[in-house]
Every structure is written in structure tokens, then in C-alpha cells.
Amino acid sequence: MERYICNGHGGPGLCDEYLLPEDDVVPRIIGTFKLLLSGDSDTINVQDNHEVTALHYTVGSHAGCGIRHSGDAIRFLCENSADPSLQDSHGQTVLHVLALRSVDGEPINTALLNLLISHGANITTIDKDGNTALHIMARNLRQVNTGQFLLSRGADVNARNAHGNTPLHEVMRGTLRLRDTRDKKIDNVTMAGRIRAQDEMLRVLRGAAGDSFHDLMEQPNAAGKMPRRMRDEIRSRWWEMEARKRTTCWKGAPASITVVSSWTCCQCPVIRSGC
């Protein structure tokens, strides 16, 4: 069952099936699930050598490629007793997988999150690195609405992982990468867009943290790094990368470009008030 989902086609040598329209692919996947489960319904939660279930693979496939109807396959598994609370060998549930695999995917539909949670996915489960799903989702600057949804359902903005990082530390390490959209267009990433996305995720976390937000921004992790300082450092690197890119692209540009320095806390729209 797991191999079918991972490969995206019906079996060895059937590579042409990868080119099928998604409206045809998902019914075939569900049909294969039905066939396998008709022999033994208990196999739905069987874990492979990495303790990964069919639901892990299906959620990961959906998050990575964004097939519109693959949510139907996830729903089928959940409605046939798939257990979203099961952890793989790294301690990750389907919520961790969804957060990890969606970094280049479409914004996650919160209805999918609600489906997984209603069937037993635990928002506060930690993996072997001490990460909750929110820790990982906070790094994914394209998934602001998902982070907000997790917080509304009980995710802890104060939770610290094995490195002493809260979700606020993680958002400072966040990424927003160029990607191909579902309709085959290029979703470019500008410097302004990257900063705006990080600010939006910060705003969501600030709403959950309330009065403790400024204290959390000054809370050091195990390496002694505070979210506020991490933000300044990462934005400085972003500006340097932007300058190098422009130096490469602009013919006749000088060998070096003076770049904008990192924002201070009073320049960040999220933190400006009360600075």
C-alpha cells in the first residue's frame, strides 16, 4: 500500500500512469486501497521499516504535489480507521509530515487539518527532536493560515524543542522559496514578499502569545540565540543574498553593492509598538 502512494502509479512498469489526469489518479488510488483492505482491514495501520503508515505517505504526497482530489484518499483512509496519531521512527505524526512536505506546496486547506484532528491527530505530539507540528509549520512562511489554525486548536506557542527553540525561534529560520504552482505557473519570491510572509507568521504567533510576546522574543534557546536577534541576522543575510543576485544579473554593476542593513526591532511592523 505504501509503495503505491510513494511512487504515484499502479505498479512496476506502469510509468505512463504518472501522466494521467489527477481526476483519474485518485479514484485508482482509492480503488487500490479498497482492494487491499478487502483482504484484511487491519492492514490500514500497518507500519513499514520506518514505522510509516499509508496515511503518512498519502498526506505527504498530497502536501508535496498539491493534487486537488488527493484529500479524498486521505478522507477514505480516515473513515476506514486509519490512525492519524501514529508516529513514525522519528516520532512524527501526519501533522508533522504535512508541515514538512508543504514547504513548496499549495497553502494547506484547514478542512484537511480538521479532518485529521477529528480522527485523532494530536496537535501537541512532539517528534524525537522535540518539535510539535507548529514548530515545523512556523518555518513554512507560505502556511500562515495553517499556523493560525493549529494555534486555534490548542498548539502551544511557548513549547520548546530539544534545541530550546519555541515556534518564534523557528519562524526566524523560515523559508519562502520559488516554486511551480498547481497550474504550472512560477510563483516568484521577492525580498518584500519574504519579509511580509515572515511578518505575517510573526503576527499570528504574537496573537497567540499575548502579553508574553516580547518576553518570548528575548528568550534564548540552548545556543543562546534570541528570536529578535535571529530575525535581524536572517534579514541581513537575505539582503546580502539579494545584493549578490543583483550583482550577478546587472551588467556593468559595480563589484560590490552597499546593502540595506538588518532591521532593528523598531523597524519591524510586528514589534514596533511597545519597543
Cell of 155: 498548539
pLDDT value for 67:
56
Cell of 234: 536572517
Distance CA 172, CA 218 (A): 13
Structural domain contains residue 258: no
Distance CA 89, CA 92 (A): 7
Radius of gyration of the chain (CA): 21
Q: Per-residue pLDDT tens for 215-224?
A: 999 999 999 9
Structural domain contains residue 245: yes
- Which parts of 21-103 fold into alpha helices (H)? 22-39, 54-65, 70-79, 94-101
- Residue 21 — pLDDT band, cuts 50, 70, 90? low
Cell of 175: 523559508
What average pLDDT does this structure show over 16-44? 82
Structural domain contains residue 238: yes
Q: Indicate the pairing of strand 179-180 with strand 186-187.
A: antiparallel
Q: Per-residue pLDDT tens for 169-227?
A: 999 999 886 655 555 555 567 888 889 999 999 999 999 999 999 999 999 999 999 99
What average pLDDT does this structure show over 14-39? 77
In which domain, by residue range, is 48 found?
Answer: 22-250
Structural domain contains residue 257: no
Structural domain contains residue 37: yes
Q: Per-residue pLDDT tens for 143-173?
A: 999 999 999 999 999 999 999 999 999 999 9
> Which residues, at least 6 apart from 158, have a Cβ–Cβ distance to it below 8 Å?
166, 209, 212, 216
Structural domain contains residue 4: no
- Residue 103 — pLDDT band, cuts 50, 70, 90? confident
Whole-number mean pLDDT of the chain?
Answer: 83
Distance CA 53, CA 42 (A): 12
Distance CA 235, CA 58 (A): 35
Higher pLDDT, 9 or 149: 149
Does 255 have pLDDT greater than 60? no
pLDDT value for 116:
98
In the block, residue with C-alpha cell 510586528: 270
- Residue 12 — pLDDT band, cuts 50, 70, 90? very low
Distance CA 45, CA 81 (A): 8
> What does the DSSP 8-state code read for residue 123?
T
Distance CA 169, CA 167 (A): 5
Answer whether 228's CB lies under 8 Å from 172's CB. Answer: no
Answer whether 226's CB lies under 8 Å from 218's CB. Answer: yes
Q: What share of the chain is helix, strand, coil (3-state, %, to 5)?
A: 55, 0, 45
What average pLDDT does this structure show over 96-118? 92
Distance CA 172, CA 157 (A): 14
Structural domain contains residue 5: no
- Residue 26 — pLDDT band, cuts 50, 70, 90? confident
* CATH code, 217: 1.25.40.20
Distance CA 217, CA 111 (A): 31
Q: Between 70-79 and 22-39, two packed helices, what is the crossing angle to 10 degrees? A: 20
Cell of 223: 545556543
Distance CA 184, CA 25 (A): 18
What's the number of domains the chain is made of? 1
Answer whether 226's CB lies under 8 Å from 219's CB. Answer: yes
Structural domain contains residue 262: no
Distance CA 48, CA 125 (A): 21
